[in-house]
């Protein structure tokens, strides 16, 4: 008997190791704009807070999460117009990924269906198989300018009596869209009419461009107890490796989410203490990142639109570009593989975000600086590894395709 027969059937089969996991061993000539882990170095006052907490003895169990952190989170979220009760509505998680997993662990039985948009963030749906649930893609459509928008009629068609939840990121990864009030209201109406939960992944709310405003779907009428908000320090404070995030939900739903046996909170207490310091301000570090991201976006969108057969809109939020490459005649996976082979530049095929609508695009994470940018980076950026250099490589590649 193979060991595999003892393993949960949903996770059997061949292992696929993403090159991202091997990133630290990447050859020196590679530029990776694949994973969304930015280059920014955490400011010293936050790093010091970790050490101070250890020195003060916060190295013990922290059952249920630090109440002061829950208060800081609720205070932070209030800026979006929604007031959560810190003790009844906030759960500390080890990053957005644990939040997503715990949300599904609360609601899914085998055979349930979860709708995600095509295109959408893969990590928002990868846990489904583990719970024996089925993923249903709902295609987005592009507007006249080239922005992805939800197609509410298409979404309606995907709803069945087995639909348990809709997963959405706002702002979107990879689409870069920020949902309008009308779009959120249309989704909320469907959730109420058809009795499903909205998992609202709001991990990029600090990075919104062009005067758009983040509206939390949980703040819409009667949505409190059918919304699970996912957030994290990951992108906000360039904190990916310190694994800190949270869930905000209605008081009833939170009491169920809390019953998922995740053990004691997964975030080491000294890191929680540092998160309190970070969330209590000042916010210069976050504002500085936002300013650098927007410069990167403006530079790269311009460069991309000058390349043959590439079209790219300026995102409304987040720090990804998702240009349309369909005019090159290549499938997105082929485009990325050839680009890597010829130019040692790593980006992600759109098919990873959605098989139908995501295809024909590639995702570029703007996680490296322009040569003119000055915020401290956690790794040395050589002059031939800047964003300008990455765009030069991409330009050479697209020109070689157009020949």
Bridge partners of 90, per DSSP, are: 248
Longest dimension (CA), the chain: 64
Bridge partners of 346, per DSSP, are: 32
Q: State which of residues 118, 201, 294, 324 lies at the interface with ligand PLP (CB under 6 A).
A: 201
Residue 135 falls in which region: left (phi positive, over 0), alpha (psi -120 to 50) or beta: beta
In whole angstroms, how close is the CB of 30 to ligand PLP at the nearest point? Answer: 20
Q: State which of residues 43, 95, 315, 317 lies at the interface with ligand PLP (CB under 6 A).
A: 95
Q: Judged by CB under 6 A, which stretch of 48-56, 232-240, 288-296, 333-341 contacts ligand PLP?
A: 232-240
- The DSSP output letter for 344 is -
Q: Which two tokens stand for residue 119?
A: 């295109």
Q: Judged by CB under 6 A, which stretch of 3-11, 90-98, 129-137, 324-332 contacts ligand PLP?
A: 90-98
Contacting ligand PLP within 52-71 (CB under 6 A):
none
In whole angstroms, how close is the CB of 245 to ligand PLP at the nearest point? Answer: 5
Q: What are phi and psi of 40, to 5 degrees?
A: -65, 140
Bridge partners of 166, per DSSP, are: 115, 198
Q: State which of residues 234, 265, 386, 398 lies at the interface with ligand PLP (CB under 6 A).
A: 234
Contacting ligand PLP within 359-398 (CB under 6 A):
none
Asked if residue 36 binds ligand PLP (CB under 6 A), the reply is yes
Q: Judged by CB under 6 A, which stretch of 92-100, 140-148, 268-276, 347-355 contacts ligand PLP?
A: 92-100
In whole angstroms, how close is the CB of 120 to ligand PLP at the nearest point? Answer: 8
Distance CA 45, CA 64 (A): 26
Sign of the four-CA dihedral 266, 271, 272, 273: positive
Contact present, 358 and 321 (Cβ < 8 Å): no
In whole angstroms, how close is the CB of 240 to ligand PLP at the nearest point? Answer: 5
Asked if residue 232 binds ligand PLP (CB under 6 A), the reply is yes
Helices vs. strands in the chain: H and E counts, helices first: 12, 14
In whole angstroms, how close is the CB of 320 to ligand PLP at the nearest point? Answer: 8
In whole angstroms, how close is the CB of 315 to ligand PLP at the nearest point? Answer: 13
Q: State which of residues 169, 224, 294, 359 lies at the interface with ligand PLP (CB under 6 A).
A: 169
Q: What are phi and psi of 62, to 5 degrees?
A: -130, 70
In whole angstroms, how close is the CB of 328 to ligand PLP at the nearest point? Answer: 26
Residue window 238-267: x/- pattern of binding to ligand PLP, with contact defined by CB under 6 A: --x----x----------------------
Residue number, 96 or 270, with CB nearest to ligand PLP: 96
Cβ burial 36-65 (10 Å sphere, 16+ → b, else e): bbbbbebbeebeebbeebeeeebeeebeeb
Distance CA 284, CA 275 (A): 15
- The DSSP output letter for 165 is E
Chain positions contacting ligand PLP, by CB under 6 A: 36, 95-97, 121, 123, 169, 173, 201, 203, 232, 234, 240, 245
């Amino acid at each position: 008997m193979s060991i595999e027969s003892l393993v949960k059937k949903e996770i059997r089969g061949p292992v696929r190791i993403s090159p991202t996991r091997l990133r630290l061993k990447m050859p020196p000539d590679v530029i990776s704009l694949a994973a969304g882990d930015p280059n920014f170095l955490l400011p010293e006052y936050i790093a010091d807070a970790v050490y101070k907490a250890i020195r003060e003895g916060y190295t013990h169990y922290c059952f249920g999460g630090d109440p002061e952190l829950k208060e800081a989170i609720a205070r932070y979220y209030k800026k979006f117009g929604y007031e959560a009760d810190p003790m009844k509505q906030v759960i500390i998680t080890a990053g957005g990924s644990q939040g997503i997993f715990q949300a599904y662990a609360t609601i899914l039985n085998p055979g349930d269906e979860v709708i995600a948009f095509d295109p959408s963030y893969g990590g928002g749906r990868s846990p489904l198989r583990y719970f024996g649930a089925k993923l249903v893609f709902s295609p987005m459509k592009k507007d006249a300018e080239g922005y992805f928008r939800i197609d509410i009629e298409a979404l309606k068609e995907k709803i069945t009596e087995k639909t348990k939840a809709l997963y959405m990121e706002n702002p979107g990864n990879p689409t870069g869209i920020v949902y309008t009030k009308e779009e959120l209201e249309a989704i909320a109406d469907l959730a109420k009419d058809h009795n499903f939960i909205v998992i609202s992944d709001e991990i990029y709310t600090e990075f919104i461009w062009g005067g758009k405003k983040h509206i939390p779907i949980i703040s819409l009428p009667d949505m409190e107890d059918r919304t699970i908000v996912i957030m994290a320090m990951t992108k906000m404070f360039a904190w990916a490796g310190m694994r800190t995030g949270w869930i905000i939900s209605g008081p009833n739903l939170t009491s169920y989410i809390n019953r998922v046996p995740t053990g004691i909170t997964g975030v080491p207490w000294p890191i929680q203490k540092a998160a309190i310091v970070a969330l209590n301000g000042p916010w210069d570090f976050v504002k500085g990142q936002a300013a650098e991201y927007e410069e990167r976006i403006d530079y790269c969108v311009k460069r991309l639109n000058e390349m043959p057969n590439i079209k790219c809109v300026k995102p409304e939020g987040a720090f990804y570009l998702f240009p349309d490459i369909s005019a090159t005649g290549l499938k997105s996976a082929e485009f990325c593989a050839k680009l890597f082979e010829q130019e040692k530049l790593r980006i992600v095929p759109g098919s990873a975000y959605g098989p139908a609508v995501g295809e024909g695009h590639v995702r570029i994470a703007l996680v490296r600086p322009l040569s003119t940018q000055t915020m401290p980076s956690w790794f040395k950026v050589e002059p031939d590894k800047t964003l300008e250099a990455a765009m030069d490589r991409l330009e050479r590649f697209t020109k070689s395709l157009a020949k």
